Amino acid sequence: MVLPCLAIVLMLAGIALACGDDHTHTHTHVQKREFPSAPLTPPSRPLQWGSLNVIHTTDSHGWLLGHQHASFPEPNYSGDFGDFASFVAHMKELALEKDVDLLLIDSGDLHDGTGLSDGFPVGGVDAHASNGFFKQLPYDLLTIGNHELYIYNNTLDMHENFAPHFPGRYLSSNVNITINNASVPVGSRFAKFKTRKGRSVTSLGVLYDFTDNDAGTTVQFVADMVKEAWFAEAIKEKPDLFLLAGHMPVARDNWPLVYDAIRAVHPLTPILILGGHSHVRNCLQFDGRSIALESGRYMETVGWLSADLPPPNTAETSQNITFSRRYLDPNRVTYEFHTGKGNFSFDTAWGKGITKGLEDLSKAFDLTFEYGVAPHDFTLSRSPFPSNDSILSLVATALPIGLAVNNTRASIPNIMITNSGELRFDIFAGTFTKNDQLTASPFMDSFLFIPNVTAGVAKGVVEGLNGGGLDAVGRRAEDVQAERWARGYVEARYREWLKEMHERDSPTRRDVAENLTLGYVTTDTCPGGVGDDTPHVALPFFSSPDYIASAAPDVSDDTPIDLVFIDFIQSDVLGVLNSLQSETVYTGDDAALYTDILMSQVLGVYAQQVWN
């Protein structure tokens, strides 16, 4: 329950245990996380507080144990969810001292990303256990993400076991689940509540126009949602502010539809938007009395938003509101700086209990199981493809080795194809564990194959999939990207942001920035100076294809081989395959299961054979 949790937070915040270092735990990964090989850069300046303030998380995807590797930028994000809980508790205390409002908000995507969410035993439900730690924090508002909808049982778990813990505050304005032939909201359509300082708030929780949700769930497009009678009724009464949380990017998406619908009724009421989904740091304003903030991904960012709002029930004016925003690196240096705490005073009993619970869950899921030792870092976008340091090149090599295990078709020549979106994170030098495997590739997608495709045609499939202009079935590249976006593929938008950041952060600056570590270097259009809380040098960036394939076998073009591909791209593969030859019209009936090994297991199988 929200209010009792808040009371517990404030009570336990005062029980800060003195200790000789940041934690008294002796687990190796905790020591690595809290004592990185290089010192962390502290924040550049204190936070700007307003009369109403927000701490924002989004797209956490199970990253609750912190980023644990020594290679930068990982140490910048090394705080775990227990550290974050202690940070929230101390910030709540500061809000009481300042006599201002402080709200905690999340914008969705708790599933699919690390071993804590995806390493559950057979018969379990993705993120059920890791979501329990979210339930221990005093979130005032949460909203559903698209990753809560790929599997019906995950959605059902959110409806039955997660939303009830935040009664009326877990929002799914345009998302339903079907239970006993009745379609009902997964959470609540909207929320109306008062802050501690008495401000009346009307909130919505909106998902972008997602199309790849599982059977038994429905997503109403935003343009249709704003025409609903319940929506008009929800926004009819004027609150002190509209607080909109949504799994939808603040730029280049449909927030203007929601904003315009509210402004048509309430032209001056403050509107605060907390977005998500595209994994970037961004902020913009639709007018001088509104602001929209997006706070990255994978617990690499904690968003801060403040607004100088008038007291409750004050007559509205057209005067611009003073806002501030900041993108915090989630680590103990950041948290201690902004709370004024140190090694002996930062940890709360509550936060330490969450850290212990995360460690216990890691043990229960056997996430430290070692597959092998990675010889060096393999990155998604910081190394060119193909290259020895590219994780995409690694996967192209790993597929034929990993999928050959216990496979009666291993001796038949093949080409294996996957989309690069199956890879979600880098692999770092050193011990390669079950958790590392799942962070690099968490999706439990299957491999299918079509036999007796001639090698010459099979070689052309990946080229057709990556072709520019019109694709093999006549679709424009922008239409293909729009279709992928609707299905939840965010990597293209995220990589676009990384590329722009890399090109803007000049080589000259990199040469002189000796004291800055690698990280995000954000620009946005919001006032108030630089948004990044800690200065960094931008990450290197190299483009990569949307699809990758194993090396073609050394056979003649007319030799029949197996065409193997991930099931997520079946329709794309069939379209290209049918465009490259006319002898056979291939359908889904021609594809069969190639192996029992899933995409989420390939790198582990490979590491056991090659990295030991």
Q: Dump pLDDT digits (tens) for 533-562.
A: 999 999 999 999 999 999 999 999 999 999
Task: Assess whether pLDDT exceeds 70 at residue 4.
Answer: no
In 3D space, the residue among 283, 295, 285, 247 whose CA is nearest the CA of residue 263 turns out to be: 285
Q: What is the DSSP letter of 524?
A: -
Mean pLDDT lowest among 36-40, 79-83, 345-349, 450-454:
36-40
The pLDDT assigned to 481 comes to: 84
Nearest to 242 by CA among 273, 265, 264, 287: 273
Pairing of strands 302-307, 323-328: antiparallel
Q: At what angle do helices 455-465 and 570-580 cross, to 10 degrees?
A: 120
Helix and strand tally (H, E) in the chain? Answer: 19, 24
Eight-class DSSP state of 118: H
d(CA 252, CA 267): 22
The residues, ordered by sequence, that sit 6+ positions from 582 with a Cβ below 8 Å of its Cβ are: none
| 341, pLDDT greater than 90 | yes
Percent composition of the chain: helix, strand, coil (DSSP 3-state, to 5): 35, 20, 45
34, pLDDT greater than 50: no
Look at residue 478 in the predicted model and tell me its pLDDT: 79
What single-letter amino acid sits at 455?
A
Residue whose C-alpha is closest to residue 299's, from 76, 23, 15: 76
Q: Which residue has the higher pLDDT, 479 or 243?
A: 243
Residue 376's H or E segment, with its range, is none
Which CATH number applies to 370-466+545-610? 3.90.780.10
Q: What global pTM score does this model have? A: 0.92
The three-class DSSP label of residue 54 is: strand
Give the model confidence (pLDDT) of 202-242 as tens digits: 999 999 999 999 999 999 999 999 999 999 999 999 999 99
**What would the pLDDT profile of 563-583 be if each residue is shown by its tens digit?**
999 999 999 999 999 999 999
Q: Kindly state the average pLDDT of the residues 361-380.
A: 98
For residue 19, pLDDT over 80 is answered with no
User: Does the fold of domain 370-466+545-610 match that of domain 2-364?
Assistant: no
Distance (Å, rounded) from C-alpha 400 to C-alpha 421? 19
The whole-number pLDDT of residue 516 equals 86
pLDDT of amino acid 511 = 52
What is the overall mean pLDDT for the chain? 92
The separation between the first and the last C-alpha atoms of the chain, rounded to the nearest angstrom, is: 48
Backbone angles phi, psi at 358, to 5 degrees: -65, -40
Mean of pLDDT values over 582-588: 96
pLDDT at res. 514: 62
| Domain boundaries of the chain, sorted by first residue | 2-364, 370-466+545-610
Rounded (10°) CA dihedral 109, 142, 156, 280: -10
Beta carbons within 8 Å of 384's beta carbon, 6+ residues apart: 390, 542
Extended beta strands in 58-174, E state: 101-106, 141-143, 170-171
Q: What confidence score (pLDDT) does residue 565 get?
A: 98
Burial 499-531 (b: 16+ CB within 10 A, else e): eebbeebeeeeeeeeeebbbbbbbebebeeeeb
Token pair for residue 110? 């708790």
Model confidence pLDDT, tens digit, residues 135-175: 999 999 999 999 999 999 999 999 999 999 999 999 999 99
pLDDT at 472 over 80: no
Domain 2-364, CATH homologous superfamily name and number: Metallo-dependent phosphatases (3.60.21.10)
pLDDT digits (tens, 9 = 90+) for 480-538: 789 889 999 999 999 999 999 999 986 555 555 567 899 999 999 999 899 999 999 99
Distance of CA 512 to the CA centre of its chain: 32
CA proximity to 217, closest of 278, 271, 152, 281: 152
The closest of 416, 458, 350, 404 to 551, measured between CA atoms, is 416
